[in-house]
Amino acid sequence: MFSRRHPYLYFLLVFSTIVGASAVGLTLLVVLGIKSPDFEFGENGEAVGVVEINGLIADAGDTIRMIKKFRDNKSVKAIVLRIDSPGGGVGPSQEIFREVRKTVKQKKVVASLGSVAASGGLYIAVGADGIVANPGTVTGSIGVIIGYANFQQLLEKIGLVPVVVKSGPYKDIGSPTRKMSEDEKKILQDFVDSVHRQFISAIAEGRNLQLAKVEAIADGRIFSGEVAMQLGLVDRIGNLEDAIEWAGRMGGIKGKITALYPREKRFSFLKYFVDSFLQVAKEAIRPHLAVQYYYPAYAE
């Protein structure tokens, strides 16, 4: 009831709770001397390093760090990116893609698509030397979306009047408290089109496809892994073990191929709890924030 009558007050309450919990959590982490997790890598002969990319792509830091460590590890002859993600943020997806493109100059990289590798997940995959998917893998969803909720009518009903002081006419573009102008719609549409072209160019580059061919399928639709292979987005049909085998052989491993997974040095329950709480809270308030853009999950 409180959130319905006073949405802004409710937002401030949630935000304050998140900030407070974050401060407490960080303080306890410092006091208890719990370090952020790092990764240990084995040196058991030749191996294929496996980097797992799961869930919403919201941050590139850990993934890039793992790719770099495998790239610098002489015992790792090739890398497999195990992707099971519906998409995510534009920035993180592009950062990981760039790191993959740098890595293929030194070592072979194969992307293994799990149950879902759509939108931003596909963006990352096309940077690899090869892509393996299951026949029923959900992939594609080549597109960009901007979305936000408009509360103007709700605020008028409850008598709240937003007050905005801005430095320019477009500083509050996408404001949830007023109707969007036609000029603003055009600005955002041009922005979406620009990022969309970046996505298309990355696929064309990574998959060695003509731009026109990619443009023809870059309308947000999804494909099965089987259809994706027919379209040139996937090289082989197979599972993770097939991808590891292929990567190992391309990397020059002659005998039995061993998969090397990163593992955390120590587990911090407190950090896990704080991170989980912050993630849940962020997802809860995200619809109430200003304009966001991302490579959308395939179901959106």
Q: How many helices (H) and strands (E) does the chain have?
A: 11, 13
Residue 282 lies in a domain: no
Please give the pLDDT value at position 36.
43
Torsion sign (Cα): 3, 287, 54, 60: negative
Instruction: Please say whether the beta carbons of 122 and 296 come within 8 A.
Output: no
The verdict on whether 105 is a catalytic residue reads no
Burial of 212 (0-12, 13-18, 19+ CB in 10 A): exposed
* Maximum separation of any 2 CA atoms in the chain, in Å: 73
Range of the domain at 85: 38-254+290-295
Say which of 171, 185, 186, 265 is annotated catalytic: 171
CA 93 to each of CA 23, 205, 208, 300: distance values in angstroms, whole numbers, following the listed order: 29, 16, 19, 18
Joined tokens for residue 284: 């809860």
Residue 55, phi-psi category: left (phi > 0), alpha (psi -120 to 50), beta (remainder): left
Domain count, the chain: 1
CB 149 within 8 A of CB 287: yes
Give yes or no: 119 in active site: yes
Place of tokens 């580059």: 205
Confidence (pTM): 0.74
**Is residue 158 assigned to a domain?**
yes
**Per-residue pLDDT for the chain (300 aa), expressed as one digit of tens each?**
444 455 444 444 544 554 454 444 444 444 444 444 444 444 447 999 999 999 999 999 999 999 999 999 999 999 999 999 999 999 999 999 999 999 999 999 999 999 999 999 999 999 999 999 999 999 999 999 888 888 888 888 898 888 889 899 989 888 888 999 999 999 999 999 999 999 999 999 999 999 999 999 999 999 999 999 999 999 999 999 999 999 999 999 998 999 999 875 555 556 556 666 556 555 554 444 444 445 554 443
Q: What is the pLDDT of residue 298?
A: 44
Q: Is residue 17 part of a domain?
A: no
CATH code at position 94: 3.90.226.10
Write down the catalytic residue from 112, 119, 141, 175: 119
* 187 inside domain: yes
In-domain check, residue 277: no
Using DSSP's 3-state secondary structure scheme, residue 169 falls into coil
Does a structural domain hold residue 271?
no
- Chain position carrying tokens 């587990």: 267
On whether residue 7 sits in a domain, the answer given is: no
Q: What is the pLDDT of residue 271?
A: 57
CA distance 70 to 93: 19
